[in-house]
Structure 1
Amino acid sequence: MSAATFLDARGMTGGYGAADILHDLTMTVAQGEIAVIVGPNGAGKSTAMKAVFGMLPLRAGSVTLDGQDITRLSPQERVARGMGFVPQVRNIFPSMTVQENLEMGAFLRRDDIHATMEQVYDLFPILRDKRHQSAGELSGGQRQQVAVGRALMTKPRLLMLDEPTAGVSPIVMDELFDRIIEVARTGISILMVEQNARQALEIADTGYVLVQGANRYTDTGAALLADPEVRKSFLGG
């Protein structure tokens, strides 16, 4: 892809305590690109995401965002620099309304948030209809929309999604992927961990197949889908 590299996470090595989970892991995401991390359970996919977001101390390696070294910054400081992160679980405030959840996403902002909120409602029309409803009363797919919408309220330039389609139906998964494509078209870079590897690679500009915390395959989504070794080992043939 010709777009400039926006996220450059290079040689990431680290873990929780003495044992390293990530081993010299490298991932880059260009502006407006969708990059997908896939691999077997226990491959370190979510750990890689946490390392990029500053939730995992690195023993080696670096993370740069838009040319700025952010390796030593806290997650909060990374949000201020333009990172948005949607964790897989506990990613909404269930007792708050949909609108209150979105407002919480803008807690770092000092400007008018209403235009961004309208953009989120345009992206996820069901949230406009249910904006006064408690988020905890929504379906799983709708709650994921709230979580993504809340992250978008920070006006991120890199949106990171950890298993956004976990536990939702195939129809809802397709709809979420369509919305993710729409977000990327606005120029926001996407880094996503996905269990539904085949479907995720179909929308990916770049795919990273991780095995035991290391890069096993890196290529375009289309090339990985066409690779017989990748298909046999990771996509069920």
Structure 2
Amino acid sequence: MAEPYLLAEGMTGGYGAADILHGCTLKVEKGQIAVIVGPNGAGKSTAMKAVFGMLKLRGGHVRLGGRDITRLSPQERVAQGMAFVPQTHNVFPSMSVEENLEMGAFLRQDDFRPTIEQVYDLFPVLRDKRNQPAGELSGGQRQQVAVGRALMTQPQLLMLDEPTAGVSPIVMDELFDRIIEVARTGISILMVEQNARQALEIADIGYVLVQGANRYTDTGAALLADPEVRRTFLGG
């Protein structure tokens, strides 16, 4: 069997002496949406940081497109096709929307104007606000800028940490619709999400983490249908 596009296997590590991740494994195929859910303190964001190289692993490895990238820096991983959108501080507030998007193309040597147009097609409100400082936008619009800037790197794997945190249910649904559109272009999505039920509805595969280890792994639909998962992690 072919190896999945992202294979983060047996990840163990943490901050200082204490391990937060205990043999955590995440896999994402090309064009899949993979969602990490679980209680607060389960290690969800830590797992994302480990995949992106912001956390040094004491055990396990990370492979992308068949290549071992465990020892690469985050910047080197971006060059290999990863993009990471953190939950907070993910835009340059004093820069315009368009300047934020241009910052996303800092590694590129080619003409990135067509990619900016693709971002504007995906998020039409950003075209209207292209000259406005990102700091003046609503929370949902800032998230669109952050995702758009990540897409400017032309990633093969887009990682999103709590993309719908603090936005209204309507904006959340819209963001999830755009995430589905991105995945349909063949980009793999790995995201951590507090709105577990809604995220699992769009997930091809879901990972329930508890105390830094895999508790349940299945399709989004199967996890939603699992009475134990529903009772313990989805509020009944």
Q: For residue 33 of structure 2, what is the aligned residue in structure 1?
A: 34
Mapped contact 2:3–2:66 kept (Cα < 8 A): no
Note the C-alpha offset of 1:94: 0.2
Give the alignment's TM-score, normalised by structure 2: 0.99
Equivalenced residue count is 236
Instruction: Report the equivalent of 1:125.
Output: 124
The answer to whether residue 107 in structure 2 is matched with residue 108 in structure 1 is yes
Cα pair 2:4 2:29 within 8 Å, conserved: yes
Report what 2:206 is aligned to.
207
Deviation at 1:135, TM superposition (A): 0.3
TM-superposed deviation, 1:5: 1.0
Provide closer, same or farther for how the CA distance between residues 202 and 3 of structure 1 changes in structure 2, counting only shifts above 3 A: farther
| Structure 1 equivalent of residue 172 of structure 2 | 173
- Matched residue type, 1:156: P
In 2, distance between residues paired with 1:205 and 1:3? 18
Q: Which residue of 2 aligns with 1:85?
A: 84
Counterpart residue type for residue 226 of structure 2 = D
Aligned mates of 2:6, 2:110 — CA distance in 1: 26
Q: How does 1:1-237 map to 2 (within 5 A)?
A: 5-237=4-236
Corresponding residue SS for 1:148:
helix
Distance 1:58 1:184 in 2: 28
Q: Is the 8 A contact 1:8 1:65 kept in 2?
A: yes
Which whole-Å CA distance do the structure 1 matches of 2:149 and 2:98 have between them? 9
Identity %: 83
CA distance in 1, matches of 2:195, 2:226: 17
Separation in structure 1 between the aligned mates of residue 137 and residue 2 of structure 2, nearest angstrom: 38
- Measured in 1, the distance between the counterparts of 2:2 and 2:137 equals 38
Q: Return the alpha-carbon distance in structure 2 between the equivalents of residues 3 and 115 of structure 1.
A: 33
Return the alpha-carbon distance in structure 2 between the equivalents of residues 11 and 167 of structure 1. 32
Deviating runs (4+, > 4 A) in structure 1? none
Is the contact made by 1:3 and 1:30 (CA closer than 8 Å) also made in structure 2? no
1:97, 1:133 within 8 Å by CA — same for their partners in 2? yes
60 and 3 in structure 1: CA distance in 2 versus 1, 3 angstrom threshold: closer
Contact 2:21-2:47 at 8 Å conserved across structures = yes
Deviations 1:105-146 (A, max 9, x none): 000100110111010000000000000000000000000000
Deviation at residue 89 of structure 1 after TM alignment: 0.5
Q: What letter matches 1:213 in structure 2?
A: G
Distance 2:153 2:21 in 1: 28
- What amino acid does structure 2 have at the position aligned with 1:51? A
Gaps of 5+ in 2: none
Q: Deviations over 1:51-102 (max 9, x none)?
A: 0000000000000000000000000000000000000000000000000000
Amino acid at match of 1:68: R
Given residue 174 of structure 2, which amino acid in structure 1 is its aligned partner?
E
Q: How much does 1:3 deviate?
A: 8.3
Deviations along 1:6-64, whole A, 9 cap, x unmatched? 00000000000100000000010000000000000000000000000000000000000
C-alpha deviation, 1:4, in angstroms: 5.7
| Residue 169 (structure 1) shift | 0.1
Q: How far, CA to CA, are the matches of 1:17 and 1:61 in structure 2?
A: 17
Tell me which amino acid in the other structure corresponds to 2:232. S
C-alpha distance in structure 1 between counterparts of 2:216 and 2:178, whole Å: 27
Aligned-pair RMSD on alpha carbons?
0.9
